Copies of this chain bind each other. A is one copy, B any other.
């Protein structure tokens, strides 16, 4: 199970642009390329996906660049990741069993699909309330939103 390069870079670009939302500054492809260490061509390609996904607005011309299409707290990370990298488990797979809520072990394939669905549900539960805003600020940190066991550094 891996994240694609497009998910990694796409999220980084979106966060970068999001950091400038408050000051209403748009970022250009060369600027993002410099910040993130991704080639300009590749940034252009990735931003296209985010723009078509509805997360970014773009403006051409000398004063052009990219801005968020909505405020950071309105942009859900789950939606962004679905656009950038697709989903682990697609519900259309088991359309014939719309009410399915038990694992199907009749075939090995179905066992595996059920497992994928469980994992997908787990990830969805983590992401469903997470917005871009949660990935921006230094005071609002993400781990505090979840029950991640802290390392034993409370005495440091």
Contacts and interface: CB of A to CB of B under 8 A. Distances in A.
Contact of A141 (B81, B102, B130): B102
Interface in A108-136: 108-109, 111-112, 114-116, 118-119, 121-123, 125-127, 130, 135-136
Given A1-B7, A2-B1, A142 B115 contact: yes
Interface residues of A, number: 60
Chain copies in the assembly?
A: 2
A1 B7 CA distance: 8
A152 to B, nearest CB: 8
5 contacts: A11-B115, A13-B108, A99-B152, A101-B150, A114-B143
